[in-house]
């Protein structure tokens, strides 16, 4: 019964809508009701084109004004400024081209809007014009690619013989990082995922028989780096694709299961010094203001925050990817040596477990 009533009600509503549209149509008699755009319609669309141009320009300016401070601040590695100039030049070029081409696009859409009696000009081709708009992008892009390649070669400084580097392994797994220092001999012992033995605390699968591995030091919580020393990172992954991302040092490299990837940089600013950086100080202040408010409301994540460098994962590797991180401490060589002294070597860890 209810179903029948519902159907009847729906039917009546449909009839009412149909009747109302009929009345609306009748009331339109006498006004122009053509589907073909007239000069007035075209003019409105022409102005709307201009309106959209202004909208995207304003949106760009607003985005920079509102979120400009979340861009990466002072680079903390030797190659950082070089990397930043490549980024800035590329972005400046993109913005310049985008501002000019968008303005031309919408200006011409307005200028050549439809008008009664106006006919499009048939213009087959123009070799000179085509040459110009081909050769300019070719030169600019080739220059940019060459500049990028030179920068890349200069950044990928993984020569172990030069500059007295420290070799550190970054080991990625769902969802944490571990760091392995090569020890006094500065050579990492062989390691394989099959040799992982949790009972012996051999979390990285270091080969117990390899003499190079005996003095290796594994850190599961913090990555300590001495300032001014070249560091060569060797990345491994236990399970899926991860990416070691250290934004303050302008460093990122994928961690691929079954192979070792490399990256190197020289940290130039200690954690203590970076905390004094005006950009960082401002960020910390801003976050602590938010945290103070949370504290007042009794929410969690409300403790005052202090800046630390961080190693993040930059490949979406699973549900806890967002929190896959490790604190990085950049300190003086003396502080680094003192920290290293407190760490257990692999040999000691194994002996303790047995
Ligand atoms: Cu990951």
SS (H, E, C) 81-102: HHHHHHHHHHHHHHHHHHHHHH
Q: How far is the CA of 179 from the centre of ligand 1 (A)?
A: 15
Tens of pLDDT along the chain (354 residues)?
788 999 999 999 999 999 988 888 777 765 666 677 788 888 898 899 889 999 999 999 999 999 888 888 899 999 999 999 999 999 999 999 999 999 999 988 888 888 888 888 888 889 999 999 999 999 999 999 999 999 999 888 888 888 889 999 999 999 999 999 988 888 888 888 888 888 878 888 888 888 888 888 889 899 999 999 999 999 999 999 999 999 999 999 999 999 999 999 999 999 999 999 999 999 999 999 999 999 998 888 888 899 999 999 999 999 999 999 999 999 999 999 999 988 888 888 877 777
Domain for residue 33, yes or no?
no
Q: How far is the CA of 238 from the centre of ligand 1 (A)?
A: 10
Q: Are 191 and 273 members of one domain?
A: yes
Q: Are 273 and 227 members of one domain?
A: yes
Q: How far is the CA of 321 from the centre of ligand 1 (A)?
A: 5
Q: Are 188 and 326 members of one domain?
A: yes
Q: How far is the CA of 264 from the centre of ligand 1 (A)?
A: 20
Q: How far is the CA of 236 from the centre of ligand 1 (A)?
A: 12
Residue 289 CA to residue 245 CA, distance in Å, equals: 27
Asked if residues 336 and 226 have their Cβ atoms less than 8 Å apart, the reply is: yes
Q: How many domains does the chain have?
A: 2
Q: Are 172 and 320 members of one domain?
A: yes
Q: How far is the CA of 130 from the centre of ligand 1 (A)?
A: 47
CATH number for the domain harbouring residue 327: 2.60.40.420
Q: How far is the CA of 259 from the centre of ligand 1 (A)?
A: 16
Q: How far is the CA of 232 from the centre of ligand 1 (A)?
A: 20
Q: Is 147 helix (H, G, I), strand (E, B) or coil?
A: helix
Domain for residue 19, yes or no?
no
Q: Are 170 and 149 members of one domain?
A: no
**pLDDT the model gives residue 337:** 92
**pLDDT the model gives residue 116:** 83
Close Cβ partners of 185 (under 8 Å, ≥ 6 residues apart): 212, 215
This prediction has a pTM of 0.78
Q: How far is the CA of 253 from the centre of ligand 1 (A)?
A: 12
Domain for residue 55, yes or no?
yes
Q: How far is the CA of 105 from the centre of ligand 1 (A)?
A: 42
Q: Which of 152, 209, 163 is nearest to 186 (CA)?
A: 163
Q: Are 133 and 225 members of one domain?
A: no
Q: How far is the CA of 293 from the centre of ligand 1 (A)?
A: 32
- Give the max Cα distance, the chain: 99
Q: Are 93 and 185 members of one domain?
A: no
Q: How far is the CA of 254 from the centre of ligand 1 (A)?
A: 10
**pLDDT the model gives residue 183:** 84
**pLDDT the model gives residue 31:** 61
**pLDDT the model gives residue 344:** 84
Q: Are 186 and 141 members of one domain?
A: no
Domain for residue 15, yes or no?
no
Domain for residue 172, yes or no?
yes
Asked if residues 216 and 188 have their Cβ atoms less than 8 Å apart, the reply is: yes
Q: Are 146 and 177 members of one domain?
A: no
Residue 317 is part of which domain span? 166-353
Q: How far is the CA of 93 from the centre of ligand 1 (A)?
A: 33
- Residue corresponding to tokens 């477990």: 353
Q: Are 188 and 44 members of one domain?
A: no
Q: Are 193 and 137 members of one domain?
A: no
Domain for residue 86, yes or no?
yes
Q: What strands lie across the sheet with 242-246, from one edge to the other?
A: 222-226, 325-331, 309-313, 242-246, 251-255
Domain for residue 54, yes or no?
yes
Q: Is 123 helix (H, G, I), strand (E, B) or coil?
A: coil
Domain for residue 3, yes or no?
no
Q: How far is the CA of 252 from the centre of ligand 1 (A)?
A: 12
Number of CB atoms found within 10 A of residue 109's CB: 16
Q: Are 140 and 53 members of one domain?
A: yes
């Amino acid at each position: 019964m209810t179903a029948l009533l519902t159907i009847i009600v729906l039917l009546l509503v449909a009839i009412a809508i149909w009747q109302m549209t009929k009345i609306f149509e009748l009331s339109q008699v006498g006004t122009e009701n053509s589907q073909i755009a007239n000069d007035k319609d075209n003019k409105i669309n022409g102005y709307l084109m201009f309106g959209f141009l202004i909208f995207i320009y304003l949106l760009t300016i607003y985005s920079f004004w509102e979120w400009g401070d979340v861009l990466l601040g002072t680079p903390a590695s030797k190659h950082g400024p070089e990397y930043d100039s490549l980024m800035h030049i590329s972005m400046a070029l993109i913005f310049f081209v985008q501002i000019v081409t968008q303005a031309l696009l919408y200006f011409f859409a307005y200028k050549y809007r439809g008008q009664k009696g106006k006919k499009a000009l048939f213009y087959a081709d123009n070799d000179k014009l085509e040459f110009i708009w081909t050769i300019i992008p070719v030169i600019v892009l080739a220059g940019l690619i060459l500049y990028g390649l030179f920068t890349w070669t200069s950044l990928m400084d993984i020569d172990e013989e030069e500059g007295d580097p420290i070799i550190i392994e970054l080991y990625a797994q769902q969802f944490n990082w571990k760091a392995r220092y090569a020890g006094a001999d500065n050579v990492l012992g062989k390691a394989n995922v099959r040799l992982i033995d949790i009972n012996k605390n051999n979390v990285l699968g270091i080969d117990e028989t390899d003499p190079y591995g005996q003095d290796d030091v594994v850190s599961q919580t913090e990555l300590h780096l001495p300032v001014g020393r070249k560091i060569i990172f060797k990345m491994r992954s236990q399970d899926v694709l991860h990416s070691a991302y250290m934004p303050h040092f302008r460093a990122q490299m994928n961690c691929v299961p079954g192979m070792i990837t490399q990256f190197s940089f020289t940290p130039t600013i200690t954690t203590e010094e970076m905390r004094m950086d005006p950009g960082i100080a401002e960020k910390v202040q801003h976050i602590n203001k938010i945290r103070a408010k949370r504290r007042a409301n009794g929410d969690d994540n409300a403790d005052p925050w202090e800046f630390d460098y961080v190693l993040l994962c930059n490949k979406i590797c699973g549900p806890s990817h967002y929190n896959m991180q490790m604190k990085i401490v950049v300190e003086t060589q003396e502080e680094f040596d003192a920290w290293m002294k407190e760490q257990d070597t692999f040999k000691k860890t194994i002996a303790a477990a047995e």
